[in-house]
């Protein structure tokens, strides 16, 4: 469920007509719903009620400060994958004890930054990283709390570019070598081994891969405890998918996911961490664009928008589907027609959809891309010297621009000319 609904034939974000925001800030723009962000976080939190747990939002999905502050106020932790994300989390008021640092390529500077600023744990991905973190911790005179990410060799049944739990993926250590690597970690004086980390992919639409992975984690927990390790925290990653299409094939609910965690891991007495990103932010955001032209081509019509692949890269990168709807609801019985929905960037890859059935649209009409809150604005760029689009947060009847559109002068003045030119 989200809070982008038609009222009197006009698409609203909560209680605000999206056309009102378009008039105020121009198009294209991203719009997020506070009510939807809140609802989705609480669904996860309530799914694990009664268990010792922390929901750490995977802020790579959408990392605007206003979104982070909204979730932090609800009690969310943060899962970060860079020094920049760590700085963003801290700037949003998230204490270090609620920040988890993931990622395969943490630098020594990032390790130092987190150890000085405070960290809940590092999810360590390799033996060289373990060695580096131990050295940095000893240099600072502290012990770094760690989990070790194990790769369970489970097929997440998702897009190849966002699968992370197969043996050929770059993430974690093979689960078959876990005992050996945990023994090495326990011997390093700058590290404190506190648990196990696993993450098998993103946009999973069934529970079976999670079950397979978590059963392996449960078995490994018992084995490592028998070896003398104090395994008291299980970081289960994220990955639960969202419905990108309005159909009856909805992914599992957070309540079903929570029930699976209880069933498979609930008897171990471990604190549970989960790291949802897409499911919290995805359907909490949309991208609004305006039709520049309707162009008739050879056997097809093109709907040319003022949004482009640099604003929403997912269709070009992943062949991802986003429902596209007009801001003014079509009258009942209006016959739809196929459009190739494209942007103005000078590449054929700047295509959002082909032969998409939509009501007749004309120059100046507004459309919305649903389910664009995750991996939308954060993956945008200024390709073709197109300004980053504004981000807007709605709260009931109020809305605020939470990232403005830069001017051309601001974009150009970031460059510096060497003295010999």
DSSP lists the bridge partners of residue 23 as: none
Q: Say if 417 falls within a structural domain.
A: no
> Do 86 and 98 fall within a single domain?
yes
Q: What is the pLDDT of residue 164?
A: 43
The CA angle 272-277-279, to the nearest 5 degrees, is 100
How far is it, in rounded angstroms, from Cα 386 to Cα 388? 7
pTM for this entry? 0.93
- Cα of first residue to Cα of last residue in the chain, in angstroms, is 56
How far is it, in rounded angstroms, from Cα 29 to Cα 405? 9
- Exposure b/e, 383-413, CB count within 10 A at least 16 = b: eeebbbbbbbbbbeeebeebbeeeeeeeeee
**Residue 19 maps to which CATH number?**
2.40.37.10
Whole-Å CA distances, 302 to 84, 153, 296, 368, 414: 39, 43, 6, 17, 35
How far is it, in rounded angstroms, from Cα 123 to Cα 210? 19
How would DSSP label each residue in 384-409? GGPPPPPEEEEETTEEEEEEPPPPHH
How far is it, in rounded angstroms, from Cα 2 to Cα 94? 26
Q: What is the pLDDT of residues 204-215, one digit of tens each?
A: 778 888 898 899
> Do 324 and 388 fall within a single domain?
yes
Position 161 confidence tier, pLDDT thresholds 50, 70, 90: very low
Question: Mean pLDDT over residues 303-308, rounded?
Answer: 98
> Do 247 and 354 fall within a single domain?
no
Q: Which of 252, 279, 306 is a domain's end point?
A: 279
Asked whether residue 156 carries a pLDDT value surpassing 70, the answer given is: no
**Residue 193 maps to which CATH number?**
3.20.20.10
DSSP lists the bridge partners of residue 340 as: 302
Position 165 confidence tier, pLDDT thresholds 50, 70, 90: very low
> Do 289 and 168 fall within a single domain?
no
Under 8 Å between Cβ of 381 and 345: no
State CA 75 to chain mean position distance: 18
Q: What is the pLDDT of residue 119?
A: 98
Catalytic residue among 31, 56, 270, 346: 346
Q: Which of 229, 263, 279 is a domain's end point?
A: 279
Cα pseudo-dihedral 216, 221, 223, 228, rounded to 10: 160
Domain range holding 230?
Answer: 34-279
How many H helices and E strands in the chain? 12, 21
346 is catalytic: yes
Whole-Å CA distances, 276 to 7, 64, 177, 265: 30, 16, 27, 18
Q: Say if 327 falls within a structural domain.
A: yes
Q: Say if 193 falls within a structural domain.
A: yes
Q: Say if 418 falls within a structural domain.
A: no
> Do 105 and 23 fall within a single domain?
no
Q: Which of 232, 251, 279 is a domain's end point?
A: 279
- Count structural domains, the chain: 2
DSSP-based three-state secondary structure for 310: coil
Q: What is the pLDDT of residues 64-110, one digit of tens each?
A: 999 999 999 999 999 999 999 999 999 999 999 999 999 999 999 99
């Amino acid at each position: 469920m989200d809070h982008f609904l038609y009222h009197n034939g006009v698409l609203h974000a909560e209680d605000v007509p999206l056309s009102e925001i378009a008039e105020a800030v121009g198009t294209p723009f991203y719009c997020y719903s506070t009510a939807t962000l809140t609802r989705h976080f609480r669904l996860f939190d309530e799914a694990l009620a009664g268990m010792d747990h922390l929901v750490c939002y995977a802020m790579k999905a959408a990392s605007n400060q206003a979104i982070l502050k909204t979730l932090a106020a609800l009690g969310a932790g943060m899962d970060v994958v860079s020094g920049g994300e760590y700085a963003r989390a801290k700037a949003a008021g998230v204490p270090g004890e609620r920040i988890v640092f993931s990622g395969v390529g943490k630098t020594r500077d990032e390790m130092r930054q987190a150890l000085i600023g405070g960290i809940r744990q590092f999810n360590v991905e390799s033996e060289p990283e373990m060695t580096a973190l131990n050295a940095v911790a000893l240099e600072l005179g502290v012990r770094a709390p760690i989990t070790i990410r194990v790769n369970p060799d489970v097929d997440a049944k998702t897009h190849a570019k966002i699968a992370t739990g197969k043996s050929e993926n770059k993430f974690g250590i093979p689960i078959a070598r876990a005992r050996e690597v945990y023994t090495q970690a326990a011997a390093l004086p700058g590290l404190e081994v506190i648990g196990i980390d696993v993450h098998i992919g993103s946009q999973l639409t069934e529970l079976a891969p999670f079950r397979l992975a978590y059963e392996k984690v449960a078995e490994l927990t018992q084995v490592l405890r028998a070896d003398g390790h104090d395994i008291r925290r299980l970081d289960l990653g994220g990955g639960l998918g969202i419905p990108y299409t309005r159909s009856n094939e909805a992914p599992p609910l957070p309540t079903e996911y929570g029930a699976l965690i209880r069933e498979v891991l609930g008897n171990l007495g471990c604190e549970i961490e989960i790291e949802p990103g897409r499911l919290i932010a995805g359907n909490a955001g949309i991208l609004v664009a305006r039709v520049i032209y309707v162009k008739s081509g050879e056997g097809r019509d093109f709907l040319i928008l003022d949004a482009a692949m640099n604003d929403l890269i997912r269709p070009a990168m992943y062949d991802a589907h986003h429902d596209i709807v007009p801001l003014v609801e079509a009258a009942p019985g209006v016959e739809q027609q196929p459009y190739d929905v494209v942007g103005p960037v000078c590449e054929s890859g700047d295509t959002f959809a082909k032969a998409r059935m939509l009501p007749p649209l004309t120059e100046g009409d507004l459309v919305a891309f649903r389910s664009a809150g995750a991996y939308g604005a954060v993956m945008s760029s200024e390709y073709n010297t197109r300004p980053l689009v504004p981000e807007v947060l709605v709260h009931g009847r109020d809305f605020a621009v939470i990232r403005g559109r830069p001017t051309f002068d601001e974009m150009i003045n970031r460059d510096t000319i060497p003295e010999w030119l």
